[in-house]
Structure 1
């Protein structure tokens, strides 16, 4: 099994997942007060797609935010889809600013803002 490390690259505003010292994916966020993370966009290196990188990264990010006693607002369609399929991280979803409930709603909102 490969060695994974999650790095919070605050300069670029993203969590980065490294496997065997190679950057394989990242999740852009905006940190809002008091301790809320708006998870905005997930990307996976082309050579690592369809290998569970995004899901592994989101689990690691949620676990990290939990240790920081933070909350999450799901903006990214992939994050919204992940959250809609599990109750494991329900306690992290910000009750006042939950973000989007599922992938379709998040994608529709993105299309609306880019058109």
Structure 2
């Protein structure tokens, strides 16, 4: 008989400083990553979020952003939000408002972040 609950997924966040990204592993499998640039003194410019094609539409990006923000909070760091997904995530909650660097907050809305990303990528 099933209770309808799923077993918790083993989830690990790794700071891959060599590649400049946080990586989210579920069950030992890399499923998403968030590129960042570490700026002085302890500010993280969150650049770009990606989810492996096999793990899309499974809540990976949201879970990863939450874990990254909690990790940066534990490091007493601040963030500059550049990634459109991160900007959108932050716009829906005040839970992480204390992490936003007041001098260098990044983008305030997803549309501006996406336009800047498209310009830089184009």
Which is higher, the Rg of structure 1 or of structure 2? Answer: 2
Aligned-residue offset at 1:108: 1.1
Q: Distance in 2 between matches of 1:114 and 1:46?
A: 20
- Listed as ranges, the gaps of 5+ residues in structure 2 are 1-7
Structure 2 residue 88 is the aligned partner of structure 1 residue 106 = no
4+ aligned runs moved over 3 Å, structure 1: none
TM-score computed with the length of structure 1 as normaliser: 0.97
Aligned-residue offset at 1:110: 1.6
Aligned-residue offset at 1:113: 2.7
TM-score computed with the length of structure 2 as normaliser: 0.92
Q: Distance in 1 between matches of 2:40 and 2:65?
A: 21
Q: Distance in 1 between matches of 2:29 and 2:36?
A: 21
Q: Distance in 2 between matches of 1:16 and 1:113?
A: 23
- Across the two proteins, how many residue pairs are aligned to each other? 115
Aligned to 1:5: 12
Equivalent of 2:102, from 73, 95, 98?
95
Aligned to 1:29: 36
Q: Distance in 1 between matches of 2:49 and 2:115?
A: 17
- Listed as ranges, the gaps of 5+ residues in structure 1 are none
Aligned-residue offset at 1:112: 2.6
